[in-house]
A and B are shown apart, each in its own frame.
Chain A
Amino acid sequence: MTLNEICKILQADFIGDVKDLDKEIKMACGSDLMSDVLSFIKADSLLLTGLANPQVVRTAEMAGIAGICFVRGKQPQPGTVKLAEEKKIPLLTTKLSMHESCGRLYREGLPGCDELK
């Protein structure tokens, strides 16, 4: 599934300059606990989170995460956006809740991180 398709499914908008519409996303994971994310997320996944601080981008950088989507309309601080641009990590924001965001993506065929071998 491409980021562009994910945008449509979640009615999400891009934040910042990294608008990688064609980037392939193979799976997704939703969490607000960074150590959890670091322990089970795989590279090339989409991270859905309700947190919007710079450490989310750092976590994404370390784990090789393909993109971040902030749920419940969270808007990151300019510093967070700048860091993401530096690391070329696309950022999305959706008004939907964590539960509904994950549910919609799963229904449309995007698997979880422990499903895809």
Chain B
Amino acid sequence: MNPVADCIGKVYLAVMSSNNSKKDSFTARRKIPERRKTDDLKFTKVQELVYELKIGDAMMQKVITTTPQTSMSKLREILRDNRISGTPVIENGRLVGIVSIEDFIKWLAEGAQDCPIKNKMTTNVKTMYADEPLIHAVSKLDQTGFGRFPVVDRQSKKLVGIITKGHIIERLLRKMEIDYHEEEIHRYRASHIFEDIIADKVALTFRTYLKGGDFDRAGEASSGLKKTLERLGIHPQIVRRAAIASYEAEMNVIIYAESGEISVEVQPGEIHIDVTDSGPGIPDVQKAMQPGYSTAAEWVRELGFGAGMGLVNIKKCADDMELTSSPGKGTHLKIRIDIRTTQPQTKAG
């Protein structure tokens, strides 16, 4: 394996190893799949990033350069003082060559007679564009065995930076850390909301309006609710129950009513989800609550709804549920979910 891939592989393994799930515990007559071998591992996370990031994102912008007239003895000082192993050679703002430590050693071996860099530099310089994906640099470094590529602007052809394996690895690590931290920060801020406010009663309320028949946006309200609850640091199992209950209620409003709203109140100990609509109402609430009861039209069924299980699901997910309806006016569904216990206190059926 080449050094970059090898190093990236190690990074990947270090990042992903904490994700390794425990061995499944079921032992039935079925064949249990063999454990994957490590060389089977695909570097998907890193792969994604090397396609997403551009060379310009990873390159070093402050490039130490020389000119064709710089002397080889001066080059020695430049390399030593800056601890670098080569420099691009620039004349009138244009890249005309590259001189590396190998050129320098060759010069030493040949007697070290002082001369301008232009006599020793490589003029056929391979460059890369700043707007190319990072993967191009990874594969080009690998194929050519070169240690660095000058990076130029595609339009002006001016030197804008330099890229080495070191820069690529550094950028990937930083990006992985940033992605991870961004969500963490949202979470941290939100989860302190209750502790930071001093009052006798603290609650967070938010409301989303729903439009009947709007299938394209159906589920957005519950999706937002889910994200908010996650950021508040609420237990994933509770978030899941709240999201499912809210989604079933949201879909009912979209399917059966003209308009409605979901209003959520999060208190330190419980979540209240109130879904009201100005739809046709439910003539027989008892009946509607029965598993399998549905008045859904054919087109609704074709979309995967109308099993008559929505209200049953809501009840299963909630600690308390109250459905009231006045035919011709609308429906009001009240859901309460306890934050302190992960299992619902009241079970359906």
Interfacial residues, chain A to chain B (CB-CB below 8 A): 1-2, 4-5, 19-22, 24, 26, 32-36, 38-39, 43, 49, 51, 53-56, 58-59, 61-64, 79, 106-109, 111, 115-117
Contact = CB atoms under 8 A, between A and B. Distances in A.
Interface residues of B, number: 38
A35 B223 contact: no
Interface stretch (B67-75, B212-220, B321-329): B212-220
Contacts of A32: 304
Contacts, number: 108
B33 A33 contact: no
A80 to B, nearest CB: 11
Given A51-B304, A61-B226, A109 B30 contact: yes
Interface stretch (B20-28, B128-136, B197-205, B334-342): B20-28
B interface, over-half SS: loop
Interface string B283-305: 00000000000000000000111
A5 B216 CA distance: 33
B309 interface: yes
A16 to B, nearest CB: 13
Contacts of B307: 33-36
A43 B241 CA distance: 11
Contact of B30 (A34, A55, A107, A117): A107
B176 interface: no
Of A35, A58, A107, chain B has the most CB atoms within 10 Å of the CB of A35
A111 B223 contact: no
Given A4-B42, A22-B16, A109 B244 contact: no
B218 A58 contact: yes
Contact of B36 (A2, A43, A107, A109): A2
Given A55-B304, A109-B32, A35 B309 contact: yes
A37 to B, nearest CB: 8
A39 B292 CA distance: 13
Given A39-B316, A58-B223, 17 more contacts: A21-B42, A22-B42, A34-B305, A35-B305, A35-B307, A38-B247, A39-B312, A49-B304, A53-B215, A56-B304, A59-B247, A59-B304, A62-B243, A63-B244, A108-B31, A109-B30, A109-B31
